[in-house]
Amino acid sequence: MKLTRRHAIAGGLASTLLPTTALALTPREIGWEDLIPPGVPYSEIIGEGDMDVANDTWAPIYDANATKLNEDLDGAFIRMPGFIIPLEISRKGVTDFLLVPYVGACIHVPPPPPNQLVFVSTKKPWPDDKLWDAVWVVGTMRTKLQSTELGETGYKLTAEHMEVYVW
């Protein structure tokens, strides 16, 4: 069969009518252990620590492994679970937050090491009445060390979609 101009135009128009979800990427589902580079045991991330007697807190001293990042995740489209620690909140909800592996990380206890903290930005605010829920976050991951008022993070995730994690 010969491809005519009419067939080419009709095919082009038909492809624009396909639902974009059919063409969307499927995110790679990862867990917190995937943030640690292959070959780095978790037990070697946290070294010694200092006890702040006046404030009754322990400040961990992380070794060099704490800032080693899994470069295979740089630019990856991922889906990962975690808990929200708000950094930027408005009446509409949270737009910038730390995604942490367990409830209360960075608030009541010393922060996890940088390669266990993810800085997340989202255009669609997450409702402030769901801050204690575990969540799934889908988006593009970047390896990037940066400091926040709550701790140093090793990853930056631009969220495209979020939903409550169902147990």
Tell me if 101 is assigned to some domain.
Answer: yes
What is the count of structural domains for the chain? 1
Q: How far apart are CA 105 and CA 30, in angstroms?
A: 19
Q: Which of 29, 37, 166, 15 is nearest to 114 (CA)?
A: 37
Each residue's pLDDT tens digit, 54-92: 876 667 777 788 899 999 999 999 999 999 999 988 899
Tell me if 58 is assigned to some domain.
Answer: no
Range of the domain at 82: 28-42+69-164
Tell me if 56 is assigned to some domain.
Answer: no
Over residues 138-167, mean pLDDT: 94
DSSP three-state, residue 17? coil
Tell me if 16 is assigned to some domain.
Answer: no
Q: How far apart are CA 145 and CA 117, in angstroms?
A: 10
Tell me if 126 is assigned to some domain.
Answer: yes
Tell me if 130 is assigned to some domain.
Answer: yes
136 phi/psi in degrees, rounded to 5: -105, 135
Q: How far apart are CA 153 and CA 67, in angstroms?
A: 9
Each residue's pLDDT tens digit, 59-68: 777 778 889 9
Domain of 125, CATH number, reads 2.40.50.870
Return the percentage of the chain with pLDDT > 70, whole number. 76
Q: How far apart are CA 128 and CA 131, in angstroms?
A: 5
Structure tokens at 91: 């009446």
Neighbours of 66 (CB within 10 A): 21
For residue 115, pLDDT beyond 90 = yes
Each residue's pLDDT tens digit, 10-27: 455 444 444 444 446 899
Residue 9 DSSP one-character state: H
Structure tokens at 2: 């010969």
pLDDT band at 162 (very low <50, low <70, confident <90, very high): very high
Computed over every residue of the chain, the mean pLDDT equals 83
DSSP secondary structure letters along 19-40? -HHHHSPPPEE--GGGGSPTT-
Tell me if 82 is assigned to some domain.
Answer: yes
Q: What is the CA radius of gyration of the chain?
A: 21
